[in-house]
Structure 1
Amino acid sequence: MTTKKPLVIVTRKLPEAIETRMMELFDARLNIDDTPMDKSALIEAVKQADVLVPTVTDRIDAAVLAHAGPNLRLIANFGNGIDHVDLQTARQRGITVTNTPDVLTEDTADMTMGLILSVSRRVGEGERLIRSGDWNGWGPTLMLGHRIWGKRLGILGMGRIGQALARRAKGFGLSVHYHNRRRVHPDIEQELDATYWESLDQMLAHVDVVSVNCPHTPATYHLLSARRLKLLQPHAILVNTARGEIVDEAALTRMLSNHEIAGAGLDVFEHEPAVNPKLIELDNAVLLPHMGSATIEGRVDMGEKVLINIKTFVDGHTPPDRVIEGLL
């Protein structure tokens, strides 16, 4: 007698190797053309699925989960951040939620370091100058940026990605400062030669570069508010590869436009995929399409974690990457 395979509905197109394995293991319904699901499509999915595999583009809120069928027992998120899933409602309905931690750490830290360099050295502006055909050759005052060696980096959120960034920053001669919900272990501080600031306000006022690396939760929404952004020094730059909602984007745009801070490197946006049109016009902002974790290796690793979480759950065990509400 064969056991019926669980119906797994995947909301976006995943790497081919992962989709192949998904079809071998489960009754998988894939999104071949990668069209993002609207709310009505998500509702239909939760009505039918045994397992839902969403991504950051899918808002699995209480209104969607209210339609969840009796068979939906697992939401195996393809990604580390799960702020798009209503964890409280999922728990109340007896639905387990998993994510894919660890595998994106190095890729995101690489991109964060790349944005720090790009903003400081005006890489985007220089590339656009070449493409415009207006470059007339080298000049002693052409495209002057700022040296990062010897500057102070303030990391907001010293988790896996924050620590990976700190290791890279040391190699570039940056001194590492950080603010975190909890102070990290003294051994980690010593390894990273990192200075802890209990007061976020004070850290912001004393660093040259700010990197946002904390998760988006109700407590971190607009953590970098208009008031806090005004604490930054005029030569400071801000980089965000975490979540756009952590920064007051309208206030940041105004400050960049008025040259109240020197620049920003943003891989995420408060209302993405919509981006403030005024932000797009600014030369002192480097803007990327949420690609901080976009490596082939990272995406395959994410998919493998999703497969393991589903298989473990289906076999009757606690999946290794179960998300516990309140421990993010």
Structure 2
Amino acid sequence: MARPGILQIGPYPQWDEEPLNAAFDVHRYFEAEDKQTFLENVGPGVRGIATRGELGASRALIEACPNLEIISVYGVGFDAVDLAAARERGIRVTNTPDVLTNDVADLGVAMMLVQSRGMIGAETWVRDGSWAAKGLYPLKRRVWGRRAGILGLGRIGFEVAKRLKGFDMQIAYSDVGPKSYAEGMEFIADPVSLAQRSDFLFVTLAASAETRHIVGQNVIEALGPEGMLINISRASNIDEEELLTALETGKLGSAALDVFEGEPKLNPRFLKLGNVLLQPHHASGTVETRKAMGQLVRDNLTAHFSGDPLLTPVL
């Protein structure tokens, strides 16, 4: 029996490439120089798309594959997939939730600690001889006992909250409504009010049309010149222009960011700022999690073509 044709949108680690190639007839879209001609040639034979969260699958890509049945996303975010186009044609969509939740939460908390305690600058202080020449490193701000806000108390937001409790922080959250599992946390419906009472604001929302730029000027300025914004969700949840202006003018104290509009080509204004910690969208970047993500991508594809229920369906 012929192996199902799969359009692979971006590269995966070698440990995922090999089993994917063994199980399916894989067409490597990201290697094609003339992508339109490539799609014209292979599109009719494609039954599945294997993509990454930030790459997704556009309407044009979906329409270039008339026999497409499933889009399997390597990542929890699926906002880059044109869900409307998929729905119109009855195409299934899956993602890889849960397997990356704890690593993302770990990095978010680590970013808070690194930025609040100035650890990047402190290491440079040691390495460039400033410690010996200038003395003690400038004082930074504590984390324990302070106020944390979590915008979006889903899987990742809840895991962030669990970790923050270990620092005896006062935790509040915003979501579509109060959560029964949010024991010991204050519910604040309005994101501006949440920011106003927070020293640290974690953005852990899923991305959607409704959440686009939910962290805008009002939220950023409510967080204020002593506040820190930490984003481990999607770049579209934050108005980057407003964020950059607030960081440049001191209306926001600092930020720690793992995601950016147009990444990896982020706005060069970020590179000139000393009050922002920049990370290369690697919150799920551990060997263990990436192996689990790749396995789940393949397992969803295998389940679909075997006629079995999908493990983690979005559509």
User: Which whole-Å CA distance do the structure 1 matches of 2:300 and 2:242 have between them?
Assistant: 40
Contact 1:82–1:99 (8 Å) recurs in 2: yes
* 2:301 matched residue in structure 1: 310
What is the TM-score with the length of structure 2 in the denominator? 0.92
Contact 2:256–2:276 (8 Å) recurs in 1: yes
* 2:177 matched residue in structure 1: 182
Structure 1 residue 39 displacement after superposition: 6.2
Q: Secondary structure of the residue that 1:323 maps to in structure 2?
A: coil
Contact 2:230–2:256 (8 Å) recurs in 1: yes
Please show how residues 118-137 of structure 1 align to structure 2 within 5 Å.
Answer: 118-136=114-132
Structure 1 residue 147 displacement after superposition: 0.4
* 1:242 matched residue in structure 2: 233
2:78 is the counterpart of 1:82: yes
* 2:146 matched residue in structure 1: 151
Counterpart code for 2:148: L
Q: 2:159 aligns with which of 146, 160, 164?
A: 164
Q: 2:108 aligns with which of 112, 125, 131?
A: 112
Q: CA RMSD in A?
A: 2.1
Larger mean CA deviation between 76-85 and 10-19 belongs to 10-19
User: Which whole-Å CA distance do the structure 2 matches of 1:275 and 1:37 have between them?
Assistant: 24
Contact 1:156–1:162 (8 Å) recurs in 2: yes
Structure 1 residue 7 displacement after superposition: 1.3
Q: Give CA deviations for 1:97-130 in whole Å, capped at 9, x if unaligned.
A: 1111100101000100011001111112223334
Contact 2:143–2:167 (8 Å) recurs in 1: yes
Counterpart code for 1:312: A
* 2:53 matched residue in structure 1: 56
Q: Secondary structure of the residue that 2:201 maps to in structure 1?
A: strand
User: Which whole-Å CA distance do the structure 1 matches of 2:33 and 2:73 have between them?
Assistant: 15
2:217 is the counterpart of 1:226: yes
Count of aligned pairs: 314
Structure 1 residue 93 displacement after superposition: 1.5
Percent of matched pairs sharing the same residue = 32
Gap runs ≥5 in structure 2: none
* 1:66 matched residue in structure 2: 63
Structure 1 residue 234 displacement after superposition: 1.8
Q: Secondary structure of the residue that 1:77 maps to in structure 2?
A: strand
Structure 1 residue 42 displacement after superposition: 8.0
User: Which whole-Å CA distance do the structure 2 matches of 1:38 and 1:115 have between them?
Assistant: 40
Gap runs ≥5 in structure 1: none
Q: Secondary structure of the residue that 2:74 maps to in structure 1?
A: coil
Structure 1 residue 46 displacement after superposition: 4.3
User: Which whole-Å CA distance do the structure 2 matches of 1:19 and 1:87 have between them?
Assistant: 26
Counterpart code for 1:204: A
